[in-house]
Amino acid sequence: MTTPIPEPGLALLRAAGHVHIPDEPPNPAQLHAACTSGEFDVIVAQLSDRFESNLLASARIRGISNYAVGFNNIEIPAATANSIMVANTPDVLTDATADIALALMLATSRRIVEADAFVRAGHFTGWHPTLLLGRDLAGRTLGLAGFGRIARATARRALAFGMNVAFCPRPPHDRAVSEDELTEFGGRVRHTDWDDLVVSSDYLSLHLPLNEQTHHLVDQSVLEAMQPSAILVNTARGAIVDEAALVEALRSGVIAAAGLDVYEDEPLLASGLIELPNAVLLPHIGSATTSVRSRMAELCATNAVAMAQSRLPPHAVNPDAWQR
Ligand code: GLV
Ligand code: GLV
């Protein structure tokens, strides 16, 4: 285990076998050494642990249990080619992450961070008709890039706030959407293409995996196509956005604001981002509630134990890995 995960994960793992936790998370060379040593059946990994094709080709492990729903830190085709099963922790963090998307929409719209700083600085001298005026969510259009679990949970919340909701399920292209995905919305969400979503959204919220298709999906040309009053929200992966282009767009008023929980090169921020008053910046806390993190730990441990015992994990990302 590269970094200790919360209970009940640790207890489940310890009950099933031997668990090794280093004093410090491994650097890339240490991770490589651990994976090739033959001492470990399964690695319990974090998003910050990178498993590239070189490492995967020489790794003597059966599986990687990622403590996250995202798995862009692992080259999946290389893992599959080397018979290494990868598992993740979906579902349990869906609502918590959608909550953070709404929190960022509210925080940017109602200037929550700025308002809190205002009170703490002793500037609050009483109610005033024009103090810290923001904007309404009700009546505005939320554009969802993606229509998976987290996007749909965000749609549910936005509808409850009186917003109009549109979505493009697999930008920059499209995909067919099933009745199952749509029924709960009773016709209150609009399926559209990426170009239309970009130009018509008051809020553009990203709910996509990071891969070759989505890397820098939101680049300078997309930012320029957005409305000058638009707000970008990213709770997915930083590199879906060209962060340097975003800083420039926020600085020059190409778009109005951004609410970010993720960054292109975490934990580093693009130069200039930290100085921008129209950005709300969170430290990748989409799934960070006590109960969600323990449910993730339970899933992650259950996946790891299954793989150590040569059983298919409940949440396999590449179930064919062991058929090779
Ligand atoms: C967090 O970013 C996750 O993928 O679970
Ligand atoms: C504000 O507090 C109001 O009563 O309108």
How much distance in Å is there from the Cα of 70 to the middle of ligand 1? 5
Query: For residues 236 and 210, is the Cβ–Cβ distance under 8 A?
Result: yes
Q: Give per-10-residue mean pLDDT for the chain (324 aa).
A: 96 97 96 98 97 98 98 98 98 98 98 98 98 98 98 98 98 95 97 98 98 97 98 98 98 98 97 98 98 98 98 98 85
| Active-site option among 149, 157, 237, 315 | 237
Fold match between domain 9-92+289-323 and domain 94-281: yes
Q: Would you state the pLDDT for residue 324? A: 61
Q: Determine which residue's CA is closest to atom 5 belonging to ligand 1.
A: 68
Cβ neighbours around 249 below 10 Å, total:
24
Q: Where are the domains of the chain?
A: 9-92+289-323, 94-281
Ligand 1 contact via 143 beta carbon (within 6 Å): no
For residue 61, give Cα distances in angstroms to 31, 205, 315.
Answer: 12, 37, 18
Q: Would you state the pLDDT for residue 323? A: 87
| Superfamily of structural domain 94-281 | NAD(P)-binding Rossmann-like Domain (3.40.50.720)
Ligand 1 contact via 287 beta carbon (within 6 Å): yes
Tokens, residue 19: 């668990």
Angle between helices 94-110 and 112-120 (to 10 degrees): 60
Residue 123 a catalytic site member? no
Q: Would you state the pLDDT for residue 307? A: 98
pLDDT in tens, 102-118: 999 999 999 999 999 99
Ligand 1 contact via 69 beta carbon (within 6 Å): yes
Pick the CATH number of 9-92+289-323 from 3.40.50.720, 3.40.50.10140, 3.20.140.10, 3.20.20.80: 3.40.50.720
Smallest-distance ligand from the CA of 89: 1
How much distance in Å is there from the Cα of 131 to the middle of ligand 1? 37
Tokens, residue 95: 């609502």
Alpha helices in the chain (DSSP H): 9-16, 28-36, 53-58, 76-81, 94-110, 112-120, 149-160, 179-182, 194-200, 220-225, 243-252, 290-308
Residue 293 a catalytic site member? no
How much distance in Å is there from the Cα of 158 to the middle of ligand 2? 24
Residue 237 a catalytic site member? yes
For residue 63, give Cα distances in angstroms to 19, 163, 211, 304.
Answer: 14, 43, 21, 7
Burial class (CB in 10 A: 0-12, 13-18, 19+), 102: buried
Residue type, 212: E
Cis ω on the peptide bond leading into residue 22 (within 30° of 0)?
A: no
Smallest-distance ligand from the CA of 237: 1
Ligand 1 contact via 68 beta carbon (within 6 Å): yes
